Amino acid sequence: MSEFDFDLDSIINTIKSKNYKTIGLQFPEGFKRKAVNIAKELENKTGASIIISGNPCFGACDIDTALAGKVEIMFHFGHSKMGKFNNVVFIEARSNADVLLCIKTALPLLKTRKLGLITTVQHIHKLGEVTKLLRENGFEAIPGKGDRRVSYPGQVLGCNFTAAHVDCEEYLYIGSGFFHPLGVAIATGKKVIAADPYMNTAEVVSHEKFLRKRSGYIAKAMNGKIFGIIVSTKSGQNRIELANRLAGIAKKHAKQVHLIMMDLVTPDQLLAFKVDAYVNTACPRITIDDAERFHVPILTPQEFEIVIGERKWDDLKMDEILENDVHE
């Protein structure tokens, strides 16, 4: 049994019951190594023709619409549903990791009775047992509802922390990595305790170092004259209206701005353009995670508003993509 399991039987049933003959499969990078074996099993058991997507994929916002347009049905693995597609089925990945141990580690760090409970989709099925354990220890855990970009109460994405809009004074995050809890800390201004089920650790997330680093990029971009505003054509990342609004404001402030539209946003691909800084309206994680790999500063929309004098430093917000932000 691997750490993640997919429900292939239900896929086979869907294909057989609808008699689909042409099937697309899309996997995010972490699951691509399973692609050939899954394709072989589905082909053997259904007789359908299968095409695997070879394109990079980093989220449910990143549907291979070209492949989906060439097959009767496409199965997208590893993410919960986002967006409206006629023939895309989302096959979520559920982690088998035990989450209760790290919650026990987190207990001494929890200071208030009412907690906002947040996690990523691969642990979402464990929230019931987590809530029970917390209740036994005197805590009330509340998973917030979130907007239409997320599928489950308590689910956060790298670009969406709306499930953290609950009445509480601190948050408990279950999952690996610091991006999501950091995002919640900045988006809400409240204390976040991150519990990692893989390392069985728990700690309070600090966002001061992060904000210092971002302030450095903002300050450096202040000297810029030419800005490239990046717009992604990916299914769940296209914020062209936001880009146009930023371009309009920037021109009033006598900045030279250019809209650059692309699919995958990479530091390599943006080396070629002669600009002083980029503003990224595509995936907000790129702005943060890849910041050091760009040859010029790359800013969030909110950071760019500070640069051009339309927002105060104290009003710096986390960049999120909300349910009505995406151009479809």
Q: Which positions touch a second copy (CB under 8 A)?
A: 24, 29, 32-33, 35-37, 39-40, 49-56, 64, 66-67, 70, 226, 228, 230-231, 233, 240, 256, 258-265, 269-270, 272-275
Q: How far is the CB of 142 from a second copy (least distance, A)?
A: 39
DSSP structural state of residue 140: E
Q: Which of 110, 38, 40, 44 is nearest to 75 (CA)?
A: 38
In the numeric block, the tokens 């009033």 are attached to 252
Q: How far is the CB of 298 from a second copy (least distance, A)?
A: 13
Identify which of residues 151 and 233 has a Cβ nearer to a second copy in the complex: 233
In the numeric block, the tokens 């609808």 are attached to 18
Q: How far is the CB of 56 from a second copy (least distance, A)?
A: 6
Identify which of residues 63 and 187 has a Cβ nearer to a second copy in the complex: 63
Q: How far is the CB of 227 from a second copy (least distance, A)?
A: 10
Identify which of residues 36 and 219 has a Cβ nearer to a second copy in the complex: 36
Q: How far is the CB of 80 from a second copy (least distance, A)?
A: 22
Q: How far is the CB of 70 from a second copy (least distance, A)?
A: 7
Identify which of residues 57 and 202 has a Cβ nearer to a second copy in the complex: 57
Q: How far is the CB of 245 from a second copy (least distance, A)?
A: 13
Identify which of residues 25 and 156 has a Cβ nearer to a second copy in the complex: 25
Q: What sign does the CA torsion over 40, 43, 46, 50 have?
A: positive
**CA separation, residue 192 to residues 134, 160, 186, 272 (Å):** 16, 16, 10, 39
Identify which of residues 54 and 309 has a Cβ nearer to a second copy in the complex: 54
Q: In what helix (H) or strand (E) does residue 241 lie, and over which residues does it extend? A: helix 240-252
Q: Which amino acid is at 37?
A: N
209 C-beta neighbours (distance < 10 Å), count: 8
Identify which of residues 23 and 106 has a Cβ nearer to a second copy in the complex: 23
Widest CA span in the chain: 62
DSSP 83-113: S--SSEEEE--EE----HHHHHHHGGG--SS
Identify which of residues 228 and 297 has a Cβ nearer to a second copy in the complex: 228
Cα 259 to Cα 279: distance, rounded to the nearest angstrom = 10
Q: How far is the CB of 213 from a second copy (least distance, A)?
A: 25
Identify which of residues 172 and 221 has a Cβ nearer to a second copy in the complex: 221
**CA separation, residue 193 to residues 26, 87, 279, 310 (Å):** 34, 39, 30, 33
Per-residue buried b or exposed e for 101-138, using 16+ beta carbons within 10 Å of the residue's own CB? ebbebbbeebeeeebbbbbbbbbbebbeebbebbeeee
In sequence order, what are the residues at sequence separation of 6 or more whose Cβ sits closer than 8 angstroms to the Cβ of residue 29? 56, 57, 58
Q: How far is the CB of 99 from a second copy (least distance, A)?
A: 28
